[in-house]
Amino acid sequence: MSAQPAGTLRGELRHDEPMARHGGWRVGGPARRFYRPADSADLVAFLATVEPGEELHWVGLGSNLLVRDGGIDGTVICLQGALDRIETLADGRVRAEAGATDAAVARHCARAGLLGVEFLAGIPGTLGGALAMNAGAHGDEIWQRVVTVETAGRDGRLRERIPSDYRIAYRSVTGPQDEWFLAATLQLDAGDPDEGQARIRALLERRGATQPTRQPSCGSVFKNPPGDFAGRLVEASGLKGFAIGGASVSTKHANFIVTEGGATAGDVEALIAHVQETVERLHGVRLGTEVRIVGKPGQGAMS
């Protein structure tokens, strides 16, 4: 890996950056180019350097992403620690940039006495990732609160869009191609700051008691099928604790896969496939994944 200034750009450009450093599972091969922009203007300038056909991926905490062991033969743009401002506006609205962590957004809103996104505190990612997948918990979803979003296109243009520009469903958001979220303005409910912060504390306590928060994971792996829970189906299939290589189904919550030292992305992907096949064979349900899988398989891996 090498780091170097990017000419007139103000962000940080790295080559052959190990993506294991940027994902919850701590596995994955390198990205050919990895850029962390200084701000949105710098990001637009960087996009002008990306070849039209180049593979381009946007990453926050990497908590909903599996990069295969062969890595990414393209460019990764990382917003974590870059575009992470959160500000309270008038009339119960908050503007947050895509690199802000979900937990930071939840805490900021609660402290301001603005309620409705406390559930974000338990989602291990950034706001950009939450917008991209319509993240939610306990019956709430982020797009229920979105007024506008700001995006950047591969063409370098900045745009403001409204929810009706997108097809929004359970853990799915479809919109204009080659555009990525930079920020969102959220509409919240006025309330008691103490109440909001108490909700967050209770949620985090429940999360710590029921999820493997002290082990490398990427949160929930599978989407809940209609009328059921993915974790229930995985557990009912006898798969808690089942392992392939350094990846295993959590014994604490069956919709989590955890890794240990020596794990590979290939182990995780093979375990995901095994869980899907087993649940389908035993219960007739094909579990879809919340996790995105990108990149090239490692040497010797099956594609």
Catalytically active residues are: 171, 220, 290
178 C-beta neighbours (distance < 10 Å), count: 11
Q: List, in sequence order, the alpha helices (H) in 112-243.
A: 127-133, 193-210, 230-236
Q: Give the whole-angstrom CA distance, residue 162 versus residue 179.
A: 14
Identity of residue 104: A
Q: Give the whole-angstrom CA distance, residue 31 versus residue 33.
A: 5
Q: Is residue 110 classed exposed, middle or buried when 0-12, 13-18 and 19+ CB atoms within 10 A define those classes?
A: buried
Specify whether the CB–CB gap between 186 and 96 falls below 8 A: yes
Q: Give the whole-angstrom CA distance, residue 11 versus residue 74.
A: 18
Q: Give the whole-angstrom CA distance, residue 165 versus residue 147.
A: 12
Specify whether the CB–CB gap between 152 and 178 falls below 8 A: no
Cα torsion 229, 234, 240, 243 to 10°: value is -130
Residue with tokens 């009912």: 236
Q: List, in sequence order, the alpha helices (H) in 134-264.
A: 193-210, 230-236
Q: List, in sequence order, the alpha helices (H) in the chain.
A: 40-47, 102-111, 127-133, 193-210, 230-236, 265-283
